[in-house]
Amino acid sequence: MRPSKRQADELRPIRFTRGYTRHAEGSVLVEFGDTRVLVTASVEESVPPFLRGKGQGWLTAEYGMLPRATHTRSAREAAKGKQSGRTQEIQRLIGRSLRAVVDMAALGERQITIDCDVLQADGGTRTAAITGACVAVHDALSQLVAKGLLAANPMKDFVAAVSVGIYRGVPVLDLDYPEDSDCETDMNVVMTGSGGLVEVQGTAEGAPFSRAELDALLGLAENGIARLIELQKAALAGASA
């Protein structure tokens, strides 16, 4: 039995609060249970040098964890003067995931910067960040449409992410911290609304895992992501931010 009493294929309570802060073009507080990530999408009317004059846009992401988002305080990266390897890995993943669903040519010479800041951590911060970023980027792009800067929203599809893992021998969906810190295999899956895989990252923490286990985990993730995308759509169908 899972520490949270959830079923093996049960997500934590998911919540999207759009318009959580007021300055960003898109601003969403995403909650996967006790994991709370503030995701903003900022639009800048220019692109990095390597893309200038190519008629297409760019999207990049940054990730941070407030020092006391975690059980024990961790050092502030700005004070240490460098971002950890983990942070860099996560922000690269978020950027790739969102770039997979935005039509860069349709975006034009603009850059979207996604900032994902973890206010409270309870496992799955990167998957919550990707899932929330989809909503925040959608809002930011809708604002460009509303302002008449774009004819149509250049988001081609939805994208969401979830973690799956083998906890005490059982494949489970959406690991929280007690599960994450005690599981044998941990996998993050990023998938689009049309069911295409964008990223699959599976790691054996202890014993290696088998193809059969991999298949079971992918099955759980597919269902979980389909449900997350329904929730994203419902959130976006609400009053605009």
Q: How far is the CB of 16 from its own copies (least distance, A)?
A: 17
* CB 122 to its own copies: min, Å: 9
CB closer to its own copies out of 18 and 237: 18
The residue type found at 9 is D
- Do residues 115 and 121 touch, judged by C-beta distance below 8 A? no
Cβ proximity to its own copies, 141 vs 198, nearer residue: 198
User: Toward its own copies, which CB reaches closer, 50 or 151?
Assistant: 50
DSSP state of 63: E
The tokens for 237 are 């169908």
Site of tokens 């893309």: 51
* Nearest distance, CB of residue 33 and its own copies, angstroms: 11
Q: Is 124 annotated as a binding residue?
A: yes
Residue 5 vs 211, nearer CB to its own copies: 211
Cβ of residue 45: shortest distance to its own copies, in angstroms? 11
**Which DSSP state fits 155?**
B
Nearer of residues 28 and 151 to its own copies, judged by Cβ: 28
Site residues (CB under 8 A) for its own copies? 21-24, 27, 34, 36, 38, 40, 42, 44, 62, 64, 66-71, 73, 76-83, 85-89, 91-92, 96, 100, 113, 115, 117, 119-121, 187, 191-192, 194-204, 207-211, 214, 218, 222
In angstroms, give the least distance from the CB of 88 to its own copies. 3
Pick the closest to residue 184 from 210, 162, 149 (CA basis).
210
126 is in an annotated binding site: yes
86 is in an annotated binding site: yes
Q: How far is the CB of 177 from its own copies (least distance, A)?
A: 10
Residues in the chain: 241
* Total Cβ atoms within 10 A of residue 13: 10
Structure tokens at 159: 């994208």
Cβ within 8 Å of residue 60, ≥6 positions away: 95, 111, 112, 113, 114
Nearer to its own copies by Cβ, of 158 and 167: the residue is: 158
* DSSP one-letter string for 82-133: S--HHHHHHHHHHHHHHHTTB-HHHH-S-EEEEEEEEEE-SS-HHHHHHHHH
Q: Which residues contribute to the annotated binding site for phosphate? A: 86, 124-126
